[in-house]
Amino acid sequence: MKISKFGGTSVGTPERIKNVSLLINDGTKRIVVCSAMSQTTNSLFEICDYYSKDNFDGAHTVISNLEKKYVEVINELIETEHFREKAKEIILAEFKEIRNFANKPFSIAVEKSIVARGEILSTNLIQLYHEEQNIPSVLLNALDFMYVDNDSEPILSEIETRLSAILAQYPSTTLFITQGFICINPRNEIDNLKRGGSDYSASLIGAAVQASVVEIWTDIDGVHNNDPRIVQNTKPIAELSFDEAAELAYFGAKILHPSTVLPAKLKNIPVLLKNTINPTGKGTLISNKISGTGIKAIAAKDSVTVIKIKSGRMLLAYGFLRKVFEIFEKYKTPIDVITTSEVAISLTIDKEDYLAQIVDELKVLGAVEVDKNQTIVCIVGNMIAEEKGHALEVMQALDNISVRMISYGGSRHNMSIVIDSNNKEKALRSLHKNLF
């Protein structure tokens, strides 16, 4: 069984959807995981924003425009009147529900239910298109198997059990279509895997069915060695190890949701990134194979907050770090980069939900400083923390930029630098010039 995930741009127009259909109809047994058509999720979040501010006119305008777009998509994608009617019935019912939320109090649960519609719309249209084209396929409802806990963290064993029971009902089906991003939580509410979460869905599904490969089809030839939106002349990387890819995804390479690599690594399933616009291109293969030496790629993660705790008492004390970490644990806030000196510790977080409470509790341990708008620049490559010279190359490239933190040696294939976000573009370009 293969898993093939198609992102927003790959299913972004009727023409693209027809193109996807050509890529998935080769007789291979596969589960196709689809994102919402591009811009749809943004529009759905915009609607939620209006609802949260009781601006119903604002919401109405966005809903009507989006609905109009989907009617146009149906008219272009679907050929026969019978299937067009069927498609419109499904799509208009979803928009009716989105409108009905205006009569209910707004909440996070409402938001999650609304933003889930993008994937529900796209997968229904794609499945109907296949039905019209006489290509047998089964639409799986991700809410029947993509189970998360109360913190919206997927529970793989539960997904495995639920999904295998569903698949057992269709022993002769080769083509399954399902939604990325959306899931169901223990409160039986629709939930999601955060922005860009369809990649993570694909990898979780791949791990659940022990797939032969998880393909991530997107709009670029695989993982590039730097952010192509900022730096010119970036190049695709042919191969990455699970660990290298995990670091890049976690520390900002937008092409992959930060958690995508974990389930695949756990079950040793290769992840292949491919370009829908250039399907014969090599793409990037992420696997357990560790290859090459030297620096392979650079990525940057924004919206990071640095917290510094300075305590006279840390001097010669043990147990200080434990006390600090316990506070972050209590507020379920992951720490990304850490540096310590004898009297102070600096660390970064990107989840600020409990920042005020965390700072209040840290103040008991020492003087606390908070710097927002920081960026983690992550430099990745096999063994770069053991080979001579890489640290120098990196620091030379950052010659004119003040560096807030450096983390080196935590793993053999990663170096992380924390800088002010205003310097990010300059840093990425300068590193690219120096390192590649």
Q: Can you tell me which of 14, 118, 196, 258 binds Mg ion, judged by CB under 5 A? A: 196
Residues 212-251 that bind Mg ion (CB under 5 A): none
- Asked if 181 touches ligand ASP (CB under 6 A), the answer is yes
Residue 7: CB minimum distance to Mg ion, A: 5
154 binds, among Mg ion, ligand ADP, ligand ASP, none (CB under 5 to 8 A by kind): none
| Helix (H) or strand (E) segment spanning residue 284 | strand 284-287
Tokens of 21: 């259909």
All residues at 6 or more sequence positions from 315 whose CB lies less than 8 Å from its CB, including other chains: 342, 343
CA torsion sign, 333 to 255 to 272 to 10?
positive
| Residue written as token pair 């777009």 | 69
Residue 255: CB minimum distance to ligand ASP, A: 11
State how far the Cα of 83 lies from the Cα of 418, in Å rounded to an integer: 54
Query: E-strand spans in 24-158?
Result: 30-34, 138-140
Question: For the CA atoms of the chain, what is the radius of gyration?
Answer: 23
247 binds, among Mg ion, ligand ADP, ligand ASP, none (CB under 5 to 8 A by kind): none
- Asked if 283 touches Mg ion (CB under 5 A), the answer is no
* Binding-residue total with Mg ion (CB under 5 A): 2
- Contact predicate 184/190, CB 8 Å: yes
Residue 261: CB minimum distance to ligand ASP, A: 15
Closest CB to ligand ASP among residues 127, 259: 259
Q: Is 282 helix (H, G, I), strand (E, B) or coil?
A: coil
- Asked if 381 touches ligand ASP (CB under 6 A), the answer is no
Closest CB to Mg ion among residues 14, 196: 196
9 binds, among ligand ADP, ligand ASP, Mg ion, none (CB under 5 to 8 A by kind): ligand ADP
CA torsion sign, 106 to 107 to 109 to 111?
positive
Residue 214: CB minimum distance to ligand ASP, A: 14
Q: Which span (34-42, 103-111, 240-248, 314-322) binds ligand ASP, by CB under 6 A?
A: 34-42
Which residues bind to ligand ADP, rule: CB under 6 A? 7-10, 35, 196, 218-220, 223-224, 227-229, 253-255, 299
- Asked if 178 touches ligand ASP (CB under 6 A), the answer is no
- Contact predicate 51/196, CB 8 Å: no
- Contact predicate 274/199, CB 8 Å: no
Q: Which span (91-99, 189-197, 266-274, 316-324) binds Mg ion, by CB under 5 A?
A: 189-197
DSSP annotation of 312: G
Residue 216: CB minimum distance to ligand ADP, A: 7
Closest CB to ligand ADP among residues 30, 308: 30
Tokens of 230: 């900022």
Closest by CA to 201, choosing from 185, 182, 219, is: 182
Q: Can you tell me which of 154, 180, 222, 258 binds ligand ASP, judged by CB under 6 A? A: 180
- Contact predicate 202/126, CB 8 Å: no
Residue 381: CB minimum distance to Mg ion, A: 24
- Contact predicate 200/193, CB 8 Å: yes
State how far the Cα of 377 lies from the Cα of 46, in Å rounded to an integer: 30
Q: What are the residues facing 409 on neighbouring strands?
A: none
Residue 221: CB minimum distance to ligand ASP, A: 19
All residues at 6 or more sequence positions from 303 whose CB lies less than 8 Å from its CB, including other chains: 350, 373, 421
- Asked if 35 touches ligand ASP (CB under 6 A), the answer is yes
Q: What are the residues facing 307 on neighbouring strands?
A: 347, 370
Half-sphere exposure of 255 (CA within 13 A, CB side): 32
- Asked if 41 touches ligand ASP (CB under 6 A), the answer is yes
Q: Pattern 191-230, binding to ligand ASP, x per CB under 6 A?
A: ----xxxx--------------------------------
Residue 198: CB minimum distance to ligand ASP, A: 3
- Asked if 143 touches ligand ASP (CB under 6 A), the answer is no
- Asked if 118 touches ligand ASP (CB under 6 A), the answer is yes
Closest CB to ligand ASP among residues 36, 394: 36
195 binds, among ligand ADP, Mg ion, ligand ASP, none (CB under 5 to 8 A by kind): ligand ASP
- Asked if 9 touches ligand ASP (CB under 6 A), the answer is no
Closest by CA to 256, choosing from 205, 285, 218, is: 218
State how far the Cα of 272 lies from the Cα of 258, in Å rounded to an integer: 16
Binding site for ligand ASP (CB under 6 A): 7-8, 35-36, 41, 118, 180-181, 195-198
